[in-house]
Structure 1
């Protein structure tokens, strides 16, 4: 994997992205050449239209990232990839239309665009037919040796079997665990030289998955392995990289303290985030005002009660604030006065409310909270005080999610479906901690783009 702005990108995804970029530029050039040939005009040199070619390729790449073309499912399923490509090219054309409105000098003619779109679809589809299996196969998977044979090692084994896994476990070494659960693990005493064993397995990484680390760290072995050029990682770091979340089951406070990250409060990052929040919230409030007004009218017609409602939430540093949302439930949804988790097919949700939740239109008024500085566009979702009190008692490190400003969308929202239980809250907390630990403007942009996928395919909306 390659770490870009503190976020890991699989080598296969990076290579596929570069190949896609080449295909898109070639498709744009084909569209240009073909249209001018029809008009019997000289196309000129390619350097004279570099901005147009890059605007086409860039818009399509953004759309492909937004709809999940580079997700593990897309790398392993041709049907999934084809469906997402069709949506991506259509969405990229919308991006280009906006770009044409803002900067018409660097975009295509509509006739050129039609041919370029068709060529792009064919080219991207053929590329995946040719290299898809290779990119999703064993060639690009890292070879890992696991030191340990207990429940932690079992978690690595299960993760390696998951579809789209970026690594394969080539060996387990038992370090005399009392609760051994990996029967195929080789005992450490049966290996004369562990470093040689790792090299013979052609491993590129060793994962330390010991159940008990006190006086059990094989320091000499680890030093020798490291000097052979093989990476050595602690299991918490490994799981964070592979899953995109901070694993609470394997987490030690010392790892959290000494690992890098948690830089959301730095001057540049904070200034960039606030500047973006102000600009985007103002723009959205102005552009989406007709949508908000129409939705409010629909809410009033559909059920009795106000169109908007305020609800107390917990924000940065555990400070309370009120969010403004379009009402999607009946006014007697919490008649007893107690906060209640939303359920699947919740009967309290109105007909219009269900549509508003699926399309996330009910969240638009929260742009006002973003403009005021109580929220950000990207961050952990703010919870209600009653839920926070309970969750802080039951989940370790839950209070740490309040060290960053809450957001309308977030890393948990694009990676985990809507949940309404303690276990769901635990899973989302792991994603929220990853975001707080690895925040960067790049990660914010990635989350905002992928929110489009969540809106288009609202699998977990309630």
Structure 2
């Protein structure tokens, strides 16, 4: 398989290997930069093997690796192209990396990581990772490194899966070899993809070098008796090393979302996930409190300046509040800096925010793009109404409408809402029922697979959203 599952979150092995290789290379780069600086200063290099001397080098490598992750460099590498990757790398290394290393020196003592090491290390590291990633993108484009899957099913469900994969423009190591129609399917996929039902499944998967069978028939007849599906043949393939995956699980793993259109209540009940352990809740709450207080201590000057700017531009209070739906459907008040005119909603009627919304003021547009308008919600996190990471809370009026039109919408309220979420990373700003439905697929994925590791992943990747101003209306 080309993925691993770490704390309930799926990560492709290609990226894991690339990340490990780059981190090791960054340690070597830091060592090289340290000695290069000594040579430039006409000083003799120190060939030390003391562990304490290597700690700054390890920290240098870890910081740059985290900055790489926060800017979504690996995803951009395979989905947006080499040029986009280069741009993100320059931002992650020269801006985020240098700033982060400066903060490390502030925290651990001046010159803990030598300034010369930072300068030469970042410069050499950029050139090295460009070369490594050029090699990587050449390798993942080769067909023999991609997993070959066969879809059992050729109806609407199989067609929907193919559309999802095509829309996502996924190059994460998956190649659909074809579709094998089930007896109950009404053919909906492209005829060029159709494959005859194998007489010998084991021989077929070996001949075609199949890695996985995705089960996606439109109708599951007599499932308990094993009729309607070639269960015996699938078991033979499993014994031979080729496993089977249901279509919903496949979408979850490859697309990091749970398709609402394919979702069944039984899958929610019996699938792994949707659990809240006491340990996880304790760690999450402790993290929320610590980070919220830290952010308040660091960001209060920006909050003060934001409040003054809002008051100076337009009449009305700097802060405003709205009712939102939180954990288990409980309604609470959320706080924000005002980014719209005071009369933005006539008679208190809830209105979807639109692209280039005329109700947004000039200051409001800036604080929305920089997410400064969300800072007062640190209060909601401190009092326990929200978390740092979770589905964004929606207004009661919209929730009542969406719950009627979108199946399983209330499941997102089984976890505490957050300042930032998986859906905000993966989908642009939602301003319609269809947008809410698409975002729900990511909220369900988070609710099912939530973990401290995934929260950290969302936290660092949100840096990209803020820096690039994505998903704002």
TM bucket normalised to smaller: over 0.9
User: Are 2:8 and 1:6 aligned?
Assistant: yes
Structure 2 portions without partners, runs of 5+:
223-227
Alignment of 1:73-84 (within 5 A): 73-74=77-78, 77-84=81-88
Taking structure 1 as reference, are residues 315 and 213 closer, same or farther at Cα in structure 2, changes over 3 Å only?
same
Instruction: Name the CA distance, whole Å, in 1 between partners of 2:436 and 2:205.
Output: 39
Q: Which moved more, 1:179-188 or 1:289-298?
A: 179-188
For 1:210, the equivalent position in structure 2 comes to 217
Q: CA deviation at 1:347?
A: 0.5
Instruction: Name the CA distance, whole Å, in 2 between partners of 1:291 and 1:105.
Output: 26
Give the 3-state SS of the residue equivalent to 1:169 in structure 2: strand
For 1:117, the equivalent position in structure 2 comes to 122
CA contact 2:181–2:217 (8 Å) conserved in 1 = no
Q: CA deviation at 1:36?
A: 1.7
Taking structure 1 as reference, are residues 448 and 87 closer, same or farther at Cα in structure 2, changes over 3 Å only?
same
| Match for residue 200 of structure 1 among 195, 200, 207 | 207
Instruction: Name the CA distance, whole Å, in 1 between partners of 2:409 and 2:135.
Output: 46
Alignment of 1:80-229 (within 5 A): 80-90=84-94, 91-104=96-109, 107-161=112-166, 162-182=169-189, 183-184=191-192, 185-188=194-197, 191-215=198-222, 216-229=228-241
For 2:25, the equivalent position in structure 1 comes to 23
Q: CA deviation at 1:61?
A: 0.4
For 2:245, the equivalent position in structure 1 comes to 233
Alignment of 1:9-88 (within 5 A): 9-39=11-41, 40-48=43-51, 49-74=53-78, 77-88=81-92
Give the 3-state SS of the residue equivalent to 1:339 in structure 2: coil
TM-score (norm 1): 0.96
TM-score (norm 2): 0.94
For 2:471, the equivalent position in structure 1 comes to 460
Q: Which consecutive segments of 4 or more residues in structure 1 shift more than 6 A?
A: none
Q: Summarize deviations over 1:369-418 as a string: whole Å, max 9, x none.
A: 00000000000000000000001101111111111000000000111111
Q: What count of residue pairs does the alignment treat as equivalent?
A: 459
Alignment of 1:373-412 (within 5 A): 373-412=384-423
Give the 3-state SS of the residue equivalent to 2:347 in structure 1: coil
Q: Summarize deviations over 1:274-307 as a string: whole Å, max 9, x none.
A: 0000011111112111101100100011111100
User: Are 2:294 and 1:283 aligned?
Assistant: yes
For 2:349, the equivalent position in structure 1 comes to 338
Q: CA deviation at 1:137?
A: 3.7
CA contact 1:28–1:116 (8 Å) conserved in 2 = yes
Taking structure 1 as reference, are residues 389 and 159 closer, same or farther at Cα in structure 2, changes over 3 Å only?
closer
Give the 3-state SS of the residue equivalent to 1:288 in structure 2: helix
Taking structure 1 as reference, are residues 274 and 282 closer, same or farther at Cα in structure 2, changes over 3 Å only?
same
Q: Which moved more, 1:11-20 or 1:273-282?
A: 11-20
Taking structure 1 as reference, are residues 20 and 407 closer, same or farther at Cα in structure 2, changes over 3 Å only?
same
Instruction: Name the CA distance, whole Å, in 1 between partners of 2:404 and 2:5.
Output: 35
User: Are 2:312 and 1:301 aligned?
Assistant: yes
